Amino acid sequence: MTRFIAAKKQFGQNFLQDEAVIEAIFSAFAIQKGERILEIGPGRGALTQHLLKSGALLDVVEIDNDLIAYLQQRYPQLQQHIHHKDALTFSLTELNLAQNKVRIIGNLPYNISTPLLFHLLAQKDHIADMLFMLQQEVIDRLAAQPGCKAYGRLSVMVQLQCKVQALFSVPPQAFKPQPKVMSKIVYLVPYEKPLYVVTSMVVLEDILRDAFNQRRKTIQNSLKTYFNAEELTALGLDPKMRAEQMSVEQWVKLANAVA
């Protein structure tokens, strides 16, 4: 008999209950038999049971002791593939992928979603694609285009490395306990070859931080420690633009001019 495990707030546990949402997730992330799949945060197995039925070669990574015991009991066939680890430090090399790439799926803990995305993007050479449930507001930022309020550092850093497709929204009623926010599904496909070559990611991140921390200022003001108006014009940029108007390509151009 498996015992009931109460949801823990510190691990962002909002368990998916709605079968229609689960079906929509699986039809968006069509899984073929034999594919390598990693599920982040399997929880009580709402997605895991469907992943196992699909015939995928599944690994799961879960931080919570109680849920690890529950998963080991419920899915004895997964024994060697249940990783009791923190996804924020989990290395995909632990999956012994050889030349294969892994597909990653998860209804992610919202409290760590941004650092987790960056941790995964740093290992993107091992990743075929990713489908995640996240807080709607975060997905709106991931997918935002220049000129939108939601466009910012996260949009630029992620769109530089992945194709981003926001799919559908999921209301709080689909979970137990219910989160206080709307959720959404996002599909991310890392680019095999970089869209634009970045000389230094550190410089790019510094410039983005400086500019978006003062997003109401023109770039000639917010980036004056790097460029004057003439230098910006020489790079083909209007010094009167604001950070939220600049495309990913223009950000890379600026960063490469500093690095």
Question: Residues in the site for ligand SAM, rule: CB under 6 A?
Answer: 11-16, 40-44, 46-47, 61-64, 67, 86-88, 107, 109, 112
Q: Output the smallest distance, CB 129 to ligand SAM, in A.
A: 18
Pick the closer one to ligand SAM by CB: 19 or 249.
19
Nearer to ligand SAM (CB atom), residue 35 or residue 64 = 64
Choice between 178 and 200, CB closer to ligand SAM: 178
Q: Which value, to the nearest 10 degrees, does the dihedral of the CA atoms of residues 244, 246, 248, 249 take?
A: 180
Q: What b/e readout covers 25-38, taking b as 16+ CB neighbours within 10 angstroms?
A: bbeebebeeebbbb
The phi-psi region of residue 34 (left if phi > 0; otherwise alpha if psi is between -120 and 50; otherwise beta) is: left
Q: Do 184 and 144 contact (CB within 8 A), yes or no?
A: no
Shortest CB 70 distance to ligand SAM, Å: 10
Query: For residues 95 and 225, what is the distance between their CA atoms, to the nearest angstrom?
Result: 44
Contact (Cβ atoms closer than 8 angstroms) between residue 102 and residue 36? yes
**CB 17 to ligand SAM: min, Å:** 8
Shortest reach from residue 79's CB to ligand SAM, in Å = 18
Considering the complex, state which of residue 12 and residue 190 has its C-beta at the smaller distance from ligand SAM.
12
Q: How far is the CB of 160 from ligand SAM (least distance, A)?
A: 25
Within 13 A of 41's CA, how many CA atoms are on the CB side? Answer: 24
Q: Which is nearer to ligand SAM, 64 or 244 (CB)?
A: 64
* 82 versus 143: smaller Cβ distance to ligand SAM: 82
Structural element, H or E, at residue 105: strand 102-107
Q: How far is the CB of 206 from ligand SAM (least distance, A)?
A: 27
Give dist(CA 88, CA 183) in Å, integer.
Answer: 21
The candidate with the shortest Cα–Cα distance to 177, out of 2, 10, 16, is 16
